[in-house]
A and B are shown apart, each in its own frame.
Chain A
Amino acid sequence: ETGVTQTPRHLVMGMTNKKSLKCEQHLGHNAMYWYKQSAKKPLELMFVYNFKEQTENNSVPSRFSPECPNSSHLFLHLHTLQPEDSALYLCASSHRDEQYFGPGTRLTVT
């Protein structure tokens, strides 16, 4: 257990659905991240939040919309996704350059 939780762990959604992924940490970390992990590809950074402010958007399509209401919670809102968006979505938080990862949400877009 790293102290970072993610829900749901598995999600199947159609291309017209709207869903949200949730990440939570009570480690007192001020930086939080969303990553995408596709098969046979390196982890890709999607978004970074520092003290609730977005500091990095790695050219992510607008069908992915992050939200950080406070330093402990991070959401990824999903709408009109494509099948190629099927992947493992990982959340992380960091302290002194060390990152703590959640277990991930396995997303399948049908």
Chain B
Amino acid sequence: KNEVEQSPQNLTAQEGEFITINCSYSVGISALHWLQQHPGGGIVSLFMLSSGKKKHGRLIATINIQEKHSSLHITASHPRDSAVYICAVQSNFGNEKLTFGTGTRLTIIP
């Protein structure tokens, strides 16, 4: 069993829908990262958080340390949001080693 589990593995939604992607982890962490990977491979860091909630544009990330769970939300989804979203956990600040989930493939249909 992977230390980082994401759900769902695949998600297809209509443009405009509210999207939620979940991440659960089984180890103690100092921070959790949400990453976006577009077709072609390039990965972009969306959020790094260790508590509470962060918002950037239409993206919101939340984390519950006690429950070892994080969610990534996308409001007013758009076809350009179609990508693979990857959750990764960091065990200690200053230790750059990340453990990754397998990703959630999101497809937004116009």
CB within 8 Å of B: which residues of A? 2, 31, 33, 37, 40-45, 48, 56, 88, 90, 92, 94, 97-104, 106
* Docked pose: A88 CA to B2 CA in angstroms: 20
Whether, in the assembled complex, B109 has its beta carbon less than 8 Å from a beta carbon of chain A, the answer is no
Whole-angstrom distance between the Cβ of A39 and the nearest chain B Cβ: 11
Question: Which residues of chain A have C-beta atoms less than 8 A from B33's C-beta?
Answer: 98-99
C-beta contact mask, B78-110 vs A, less than 8 Å → 1, else 0? 000000001010100110111111110000000
Which of chain B's residues has its CB closest to A43's CB?
B100
Q: Do most interface residues of chain B lie in helix, strand or loop, or is the interface mixed? A: strand
| Contacts A42-B102, A99-B45 supplied; 9 other A-B pairs, CB < 8 Å | A2-B44, A37-B41, A42-B4, A42-B101, A56-B97, A97-B93, A99-B98, A101-B45, A104-B43
CB pair B43–A90 under 8 Å, yes or no, is yes
The 10 closest A-B pairs by CB, nearest first: A104-B41, A101-B43, A42-B100, A43-B100, A103-B42, A42-B102, A88-B41, A94-B96, A98-B48, A31-B96
Question: Which residues of chain B have C-beta atoms less than 8 A from A37's C-beta?
Answer: 41
Question: Which residues of chain B have C-beta atoms less than 8 A from A92's C-beta?
Answer: 43
Give the contacts of B33-63 with A (CB-CB under 8 A): 33, 35, 40-45, 48
A41 and B42 contact, Cβ closer than 8 Å, known pairs A97-B48, A97-B90, A99-B96 = no
Question: Which residues of chain B have C-beta atoms less than 8 A from A100's C-beta?
Answer: 45
Whether, in the assembled complex, B31 has its beta carbon less than 8 Å from a beta carbon of chain A, the answer is yes
CB pair B42–A104 under 8 Å, yes or no, is yes
* Docked pose: A106 CA to B42 CA in angstroms: 11
Which of chain B's residues has its CB closest to A94's CB?
B96
Question: Which residues of chain A have C-beta atoms less than 8 A from B4's C-beta?
Answer: 42
Of the A-B pairs whose beta carbons lie under 8 Å apart in the complex, a sample of 5, sorted by A's number, is A42-B99, A42-B101, A43-B86, A98-B45, A104-B41
Question: Which residues of chain A have C-beta atoms less than 8 A from B42's C-beta?
Answer: 2, 101-104
Question: Which residues of chain B have C-beta atoms less than 8 A from A43's C-beta?
Answer: 86, 88, 98, 100
